[in-house]
Structure 1
Amino acid sequence: MAATTPRPCVVSILFFLSTFLAFANSVVDVSGNSLNFLVIGDWGGMSDEPYYTVGQSKVASVMGEKAEKIDSQFTLAVGDNFYEDGVKDVDDPRFNETFEEVFTAPSLQKRWYAICGNHDYNGNASAQVAYTQKSARWYMPSFYYTEIFNLSSSNITIQFVFIDTVILCGLSHPKLRHLPPSGPQSSDLADDQWAWIESTLQQSTADWLIVSGHYPVWSAAHHGPTDILVKQLRPLLIKYNVTAYIAGHDHDMQHLKEDDSSVNYFVSGAGHEVDSSSKHEDSVPENSLKYRYGKSDSEKHGAFGVVTINDKIMNVTFFNHHGRELYNTTVERIRNIH
């Protein structure tokens, strides 16, 4: 398959990586005995007025209710933040029209940890990094970065490793959505990030280690597994006892886990619509698909995830745009168990 034509914003990433890439390793203290947060992916509205979708608006409303109920500390946004072609610059009105003025609940005014998806690279992805300096809650200090949380009551640490899968894998085809990403546009940039990922995972002493990127490793839906991530990221997740990999890209909700691995794979890509495709159910390991939510009827308006982590378990719940619970699973801690 021929690679897609490089876009100027991806080529210019070299400059912005050198400008913004600060691999912060700060520790955020969290009072109480649990870390509570929301996960939403592929939520980025639309290119035309009113710049948000009905599904996105419904999901935002329910997210506010759930965030208040669990006292959510942050939201994880796993890419495709602005459809169809990202933003033009740091002053693009889409930041207000699709983000600030949609997710308005007081409980959602806490930090949003964001990463870029393929649609974000159709525009100026670097502007989303720069917007960190303008917004009180948008947080993307670089294209890939890490953050550590410490539960003060138990001294349990949870480390998140946020990666940029477009740098690693390239852009997906803009129209032929079933085709895999075209391969990295800069092998040097991809190699640099791979080295950083392994180093970060290797050095982690966290009790919980979670990696998040836009493209999924495994997916049973329309896009399916991401070959490069299956070949290169999956072995690292297993080797370094990563608890979970959280992604988007496919517009549904999934939980996958291989029988001979402790890594859980979650897809939360239904931020403004749900796709019914199960095109790649035969492309994931046997018995690995634990749950998939994909509808194309009246339920198509979206879904999101709620996660709670304490010293012993990680609880993951999927909700639809009505606030109805779709799925719940509990993952036991596998790191630093004595």
Structure 2
Amino acid sequence: MEAWTVLLGLQVMSLPLLTHCAAPTPTLKFVAVGDWGGVPNAPFHTAREMANAKEIARTVQILGADFIMSLGDNFYFTGVHDANDKRFQETFEDVFSDRALRNIPWYVLAGNHDHLGNVSAQIAYSKVSKRCIATGPPNKPLRAEMHARSGKRLLSKHKDLRSSHIICYLQDENGVGYVLSGAGNFMDPSVRHQRKVPNNYLRFHYGSEDSLGGFTYVEISPKEMTITYVEAAGKSLFKTSLPRRRRL
């Protein structure tokens, strides 16, 4: 069966589409949000994280979602100590608490800040929480990199964007799309690496300090992948689609 492949940093997860069947057309829907991990002091969350949680819940309630992809840096600034760390409750459970999110699984990657703490504790917490599923190593160098190619491990051409708390979209000369979604908690207005991105690759960039951040909503059908960047204030910032490709 043919499949779409979602490459999150260097973590590859193959997502097979449902087999062709009668209407309705099968789709896969999910939210991708990175760098949402609050702060290590009371109240252990930020205004941006709270705003993102509220808008993610509203989006899921209206559009639906099969899961939420957490792209790393889940607990600023030095991860968690153990599976009983109070940050799980104060930064995660208490924030993403809307009824629309309670039964949706989270697939969680560990970022560099998580690795300053105990990543094994985040994996262990997946046995405590009914909705949290830890899936592995840090997602360097990008927050999210999604494309419609076969399941090959690809190294990003855009490592200069790795430290930015932004949401942006790049597409190369082969039609491969790169989705960066790292604005769940902080925003970085810097464009110091802009000239290092190949000409015509950058299609969308958003890093306004005045913004409440945002996330990405992805819908995959047998024909295409649709990617929508959503600001936490409720505005759709940018939308694009990638056609399905055949296995090589």
Is the pair's TM-score, using the shorter chain for normalization, greater than 0.5? yes
Aligned to 2:145: none
**Partner residue in 1 for 2:37:** 44
Q: Which amino acid in the other structure matches residue 217 of structure 1?
A: S
Larger radius of gyration: 1
Number of residues paired by the alignment?
226
C-alpha contact 1:42 1:270 (8 A) present in aligned 2:
yes
* TM-score between both structures, scaled by the size of structure 2: 0.82
Structure 1 residues 66-145: aligned runs within 5 Å = 66-109=59-102, 110-140=104-134, 142-143=135-136
Aligned partner of 2:234 in structure 1 is 323
* Number of the residue aligned with 1:251: 165
Identify which of structures 1 and 2 has the higher relative contact order when contacts are C-alpha pairs closer than 8 Å and 6+ apart. Answer: 2
Does the C-alpha gap of structure 1 residues 254 and 24 become closer, same or farther in structure 2, counting only changes over 3 Å?
closer
Residues 40 and 218 of structure 1, relative CA distance in 2, 3 Å threshold: farther
Structure 2 CA distance for aligned equivalents of residues 85 and 165 of structure 1: 16
By how many angstroms is 1:29 displaced?
6.8
Q: State the TM-score, normalizing by the size of structure 1.
A: 0.61
Higher strand proportion, which one? 2
Task: For residues 107-130 of structure 1, give each alpha carbon's deviation from its aligned partner in whole angstroms, at most 9, with x where no partner exists.
Answer: 222110110100001111111111
Q: Note if contact 2:81-2:121 (Cα within 8 Å) is conserved in structure 1.
A: yes
User: What SS does the aligned partner of 2:51 have?
Assistant: helix
The CA distance in 1 between the partners of 2:235 and 2:13, in whole Å, is: 37
Aligned positions of 1:169-188 closer than 5 A: none
User: Which of the numbers 160, 169, 174 marks the counterpart of 1:224?
Assistant: 160
Cα distance in 1, alignment partners of residues 31 and 81 from structure 2: 27
Deviations 1:150-186 (A, max 9, x none): xxxxxxxxxxxxxx346xx8xxxxxxxxxxxxxxxxx
Asked whether the equivalents of residues 35 and 71 of structure 2 are also in contact (C-alpha less than 8 Å), the reply is: yes
**Cα root mean square deviation, aligned:** 2.9
8 Å contact kept, 2:184–2:215? yes
1:118/1:303 CA distance change after superposition, 3 Å = same
Aligned with residue 61 of structure 1, among 54, 66, 79: 54
Q: Which residue of 1 aligns with 2:205?
A: 292
Matching residue's letter, 2:207: G
Residues 287/26 of structure 1: CA separation in 2 closer, same or farther (3 Å cut): closer
Deviation at 1:70, TM superposition (A): 1.4
- Contact 1:225-1:283 within 8 A present in 2 as well: no
Unaligned segments of structure 2, at least 5 residues? 1-11, 142-147
> Which has more helix, going by share of residues?
1
Matches of 1:210 and 1:282, distance apart in 2 = 30
Q: Is 2:14–2:151's contact at 8 Å kept on the other side of the alignment?
A: no
2:31/2:218 contact within 8 Å kept: yes
Three-state SS of the structure 1 residue aligned to 2:136 is: coil
What stretches of structure 1 move > 3 A for 4+ residues in a row?
Answer: 23-32, 207-213
Please give the secondary structure, in 1, of the residue aligned with 2:107: strand
Which of residues 179, 183, 189 in structure 2 aligns to 1:276? Answer: 189
CA distance in 1 between partners of 2:136 and 2:98 (Å):
27
Does the CA contact (< 8 Å) of 1:73 and 1:111 recur in 2? Answer: yes
| SS class of match (1:224) | helix
Distance change >3 Å, CA 27–CA 252, structure 1 → 2 = closer
Distance in 2 (alpha carbons) for counterparts of 1:305 and 1:25: 18
Shift in Å at residue 324 of structure 1?
0.3
How far did 1:209 drift?
5.3
Deviation of 1:265 after TM superposition, in Å, equals 0.7
SS in 1 for 2:76: coil
